[in-house]
Structure 1
Amino acid sequence: MDYAFIPSPAQSVWEIPLPFGLAVPIRAYALCIVAGIVAACWVVEALLRRRGAPRFFVLDLAVWAVPFGIVGGRLYHVVTSPDAYFGADGEPLKAFAVWEGGLGVPGAIVLGGVGVWIACRRGQVPFSMVADAAAIGLPLGQAVARPCNWFNQELYGLPTNAPWGVEIDAAHQRDIPPEFRGAEAYEPAFLYESLWNFGLAAVIWRLDKRFKFGAGRAFAIYVLGYGVGRFWIEGRRIDVAHDFLGLRVNEWLSLVMIVGAIVYLLRVKGKRGVLVPGEAGGLRMVDWDSADARAGKLVEVEVGSGTVESEVSDEGSAEPDESKASS
């Protein structure tokens, strides 16, 4: 086998046999998405716990954000690529076939954000605090999940002779414009985005560690960075997409994200917040460098049938003290 380029996947679905001749399909696309969700949740949980949030609050977030995000991502894909489902040769029922690929990140972020807002309201945790934690977890999760497009042989760019070019077999070249079909390899736009998001997560982590962003400013930097990356990556893609005034729809949306994030960063200021016990019970958010935060107050949260106390350090982080768990 010639490995001058990244080969197309030999298999993307595995079946687990069941009695009576049945089988359960395990799809690589879904496994990548799940891996991305787990990576994002792991990072967000660690960051929220350091800021005084209840332990495992990320699970409450995931219960709402994941299904909302999947629905939002699919809706965005179907709305921006309607011909495949409602065009002359479209198949409307395939709009529900998420496993075949097609989740739009902008839609997933917007509707997933609604799910996060609901979870925050129920858990009495500030939405802005969760958003700033997600600013690092989201790009990492996206980077981990992006190989799903390799398994589905989608999100490719112009033909290339570079060694990182990806092979697309004939059965998956239907969305390639005729003038580009039959090339040995194509630019892996999905790989570009994965690497960009890994770098974006690292940059935001370093900036947040130094400047201790609050009031959603870290999330605005994520939106800005993702918009910049998505704009140039979209410009490399050749798969069929709707254009408007010479730019793909996703390019226009990327520009809106960039401008919106810049305006937000210029208009909204705020320090990082941490959670401490409120006078009337529950939790309240204070600035990380406030007297309450520096006092090292304890945040007691329920864990199963017992409690665990988390101490807010003089740097505004909340570290769980396992030795103080009670049953």
Structure 2
Amino acid sequence: MVAQVNRVAFELVGLQIYWYAIIIVSGIAVALWLANREAVRVGLKEDDMTNFILWALPIAIIGARLYYVLFDLAPYLADPVQIFNIRNGGLAIYGGLIAAVIVLIIYTRYHFIDPWLFLDVVAPGVMLAQAMGRWGNFMNHEAYGGETTRQFLENLHLPQFIINNMYIDGAFRQPTFLYESVWSFLGFVLILFIRKNGKIKRGELFLSYMVWYSLGRFFIEGMRTDSLYLFGGIRISQLLSVILFISGIILLYYRRKKSTNIKLYERDKGANQALI
């Protein structure tokens, strides 16, 4: 019998606090910290980011839950109370992102902020938060792939605690949570590199994030065993990834080559040497 991590971190006045929640909240805090730092460098205010997150966070959680429930409706129709039980997971990243972007568009219009600039500022932090958040899935023993062997996992030179916890339902599983976490972290580094070294237009950082994440998610989703499906066995996240990838490429090309009146993404001269 291999050792399994306990998804409960600790108890507080009789309430179990899950690692999943701790990791998700930590990712959000890091994303907000990064966005606050960058906001000042591009002429926005820290309050813009903090006020936005106060609106976006609860709506993003609702969006993430609704997305998950709507595409896996049968068990929730049988027990509707479970719709509100998110302690065991069941939050879809794409649903949360869609909801947050809608809030962002409304928020920036109300406060007369360029939405593309705002998206560029938050994109790196969101990518890093996603990389962190997948470890919440690890602690919950979810978001894993098909069956594999211990030897395969050892050949990846993974730490033993990861290998041991990929033994789920009587078999070793592909650590798709880890694949996506690593992919997102590489995307975070890539976006920082582009921001630091490239002469870019507003919107290109966010679109780079969109293209990078959707590309990796398409392939990783194909390995998972807990995907949400449309008719005909089409995985919803794969379909959405294709749409986002193609849309991102088209918008990047248009904004880079065809549009001449888009402002550059500019930072304070004193901040040009700072990676984050």
TM bucket (normalised to shorter chain) is 0.7 to 0.9
Note the residue ranges of structure 1 that are not aligned, 5 or more in a row. Answer: 18-22, 174-181, 275-287, 289-311, 318-327
3-state SS of paired residue (1:146) = helix
* Superposition deviation, residue 37 in structure 1: 0.2
Which structure shows the bigger proportion of residues in strand conformation?
1
**Paired residue for 1:179?**
none
Runs (4 or more) in structure 1 with deviation over 6 Å come to 314-317
Q: Is the 8 A contact 2:214 2:244 kept in 1?
A: yes
3-state SS of paired residue (1:74) = helix
**Paired residue for 1:133?**
121
3-state SS of paired residue (1:155) = coil
**Paired residue for 2:145?**
157
Letter in 1 for 2:219: W
CA distance in 1, matches of 2:110, 2:205: 23
Do structure 1's residue 63 and structure 2's residue 51 form an aligned pair? no
Residue 269 of structure 2, aligned match among 313, 319, 322:
313
Q: Is the 8 A contact 2:131 2:181 kept in 1?
A: yes
**Paired residue for 1:237?**
224
CA distance in 2, matches of 1:64, 1:261: 26
3-state SS of paired residue (2:202) = coil
Residue 75 of structure 1, aligned match among 48, 52, 66:
66
Cα shift readout 1:142-196 (whole Å, capped 9, x = no counterpart): 11121111121111112222134453676xx4xxxxxxxx21x111111111111
User: Matches of residues 1-327 of structure 1 in structure 2 within 5 Å?
Assistant: 2=2, 7-17=3-13, 23-86=14-77, 90-161=78-149, 162-163=153-154, 164=158, 165=163, 167=165, 173=169, 182-183=170-171, 185-239=172-226, 241-269=228-256, 270-273=262-265, 312-313=268-269
Identity of aligned residues (%): 30
Structure of greater Rg: 1
Q: In terms of mean alpha carbon deviation, does 93-102 or 232-241 score higher? A: 232-241
Count of equivalent residues? 259
Cα RMSD over matched residues?
A: 2.4
Please report the TM-score for the alignment, with normalisation by the length of structure 2: 0.85
Letter in 1 for 2:269: S
Q: Is the 8 A contact 1:166 1:187 kept in 2?
A: no
**Paired residue for 1:295?**
none
CA distance in 1, matches of 2:247, 2:164: 34
Note the residue ranges of structure 2 that are not aligned, 5 or more in a row. Answer: 257-261
Q: Is the 8 A contact 1:8 1:153 kept in 2?
A: no
* Superposition deviation, residue 211 in structure 1: 1.9
Please report the TM-score for the alignment, with normalisation by the length of structure 1: 0.72
**Against the structure 1 CA distance between its residues 102 and 314, is the aligned structure 2 distance closer, same or farther, given a 3 Å change threshold?**
same
- Which has the bigger relative contact order, CA under 8 A and spacing at least 6? 2
CA distance in 1, matches of 2:111, 2:272: 21
Which structure shows the bigger proportion of residues in helix conformation?
2
Letter in 2 for 1:93: V
3-state SS of paired residue (1:9) = coil
CA distance in 1, matches of 2:91, 2:109: 27
CA distance in 2, matches of 1:118, 1:263: 24
* Superposition deviation, residue 245 in structure 1: 4.4
CA distance in 2, matches of 1:147, 1:66: 19
**Against the structure 1 CA distance between its residues 186 and 131, is the aligned structure 2 distance closer, same or farther, given a 3 Å change threshold?**
same
